[in-house]
Amino acid sequence: MSMLLAICNLGRILTREGREMAEIKLRGLRKSYGGHEVIRGVDIDIADGEFCVFVGPSGCGKSTLLRMVAGLEDITDGTLEIGGQRVNEAQPRDRGVAMVFQNYAIFPHMSVRENMAFGLTIAHASKAEKAAKVQRAAEILQMEHLLDRRPSQLSGGQRQRVAIGRAITRNPGVFLFDEPLSNLDAALRMDMRMEIGKLHKQLGTTMIYVTHDQVEAMTLADKIIVLRDGQVMQAGAPMELYQNPVNRFVAGFLGAPSMNFLDVEIVAADNETAKVARPSMDPIVVPTRGRRFVPGARAVLGLRPQHISACAPDQGVLHGQVTLTERLGSETVVDLVMQDGKNVIAAFGEDKEFERGQRVDLIFAPEQAHLFEEES
């Protein structure tokens, strides 16, 4: 019986080419420098094979959190588990992780081949094993023709590919990406983003990816963790966060252009809806999504630019004058100023022409609006 259990366990552990299962648990993780706390109690669960993106503005602690998982930063308090083992004090090499850095961190004096085989060289692997693993990684990344070059002969995108290749050859349980695309130009960034997405599908390994770019987060992630000031604001699937942000910060961070926020007054409220108004907007009934509001209180109405549309003159609920138009071909982004001086951005899903100063009347579907408590 125990034999059977052991075999089952072995089968579970040795899935996918002998790689260890690597679900990751962060429990009450804290980090402080001197007296200054930069990670303030973070709880995250990442399932084996999941692509998890830490996203947030600069200084929110996302890179620090990743480096704590990697073992490059000490953990002040809390527990970090990888594959069911507590690894708080484990050396980076004992955590079964591979990391890709923003500035590539490839060794300038080694050829691409030597760079990719570095982890194996360190572990005194045989020549044949090195050659086979480097070959496989190069095939995955379609860079067999670059293997004998020096890093100085490579473009930025190719260098990042080498760094990813070095991670692949180690066959780690977890891939860690620290803003890997930030040093690349816009076109290359999109290509590499898709490649990383494909890589995850192909390898099926747990990946943690840090970025400040919400587009990367939305497109790549199985799960997004939005961080702010060292705390998790919200964790969940990209669309869940997009459609049901728990607070104004998450709502404003995800989606481009970002959500409009209008200060409103609660005119009336019941369990599911609230009627809100502001001087430049006609009263309207919007869903409260479980939040409680009392009449007379102040609140913030969140409207995604994409959910606002133009309507016939003298109808609609918002009225503004055009100050700036950005025509993108498939989309037209208009910056409007309302009578009380508040700016609203609307994104129309078609190409439209507006004059500067033109009066535009806008409506939006109330069920797509978000109502947040006013922040203290």
Residues forming contacts to other proteins in the complex (CB under 8 A) are 70-72, 91-93, 97-99, 101, 103, 105-110, 118-119, 121-123, 166, 170
Contact present, 306 and 368 (Cβ < 8 Å): no
Task: Pick the closer one to other proteins by CB: 50 or 179.
Answer: 179
Query: Minimum CB separation from other proteins for residue 70, in Å?
Result: 6
Task: Pick the closer one to other proteins by CB: 118 or 242.
Answer: 118
Amino acid present at 185: D
Say if strands 24-33 and 36-46 run parallel, antiparallel, or are unpaired: antiparallel
Say if strands 298-303 and 370-373 run parallel, antiparallel, or are unpaired: antiparallel
**Of 320, 321, 317, 319, the residue nearest 363 (C-alpha):** 317
Query: Minimum CB separation from other proteins for residue 151, in Å?
Result: 11
Query: Minimum CB separation from other proteins for residue 175, in Å?
Result: 11
**Of 173, 219, 223, 172, the residue nearest 192 (C-alpha):** 219
**How far is 304 from 247, CA to CA, in rounded Å?**
14
Query: Minimum CB separation from other proteins for residue 19, in Å?
Result: 16
Overall residue count recorded for the chain in this entry = 376
Query: Minimum CB separation from other proteins for residue 92, in Å?
Result: 5
DSSP β-bridge partners for residue 268 = 275
Task: Pick the closer one to other proteins by CB: 101 or 242.
Answer: 101
Neighbours of 132 (CB within 10 A): 14
Task: Pick the closer one to other proteins by CB: 109 or 201.
Answer: 109
Query: Minimum CB separation from other proteins for residue 32, in Å?
Result: 17
**How far is 358 from 320, CA to CA, in rounded Å?**
8
Q: Is 270 exposed, middle or buried (0-12, 13-18, 19+ CB in 10 A)?
A: exposed
Task: Pick the closer one to other proteins by CB: 179 or 335.
Answer: 179
Task: Pick the closer one to other proteins by CB: 152 or 271.
Answer: 152
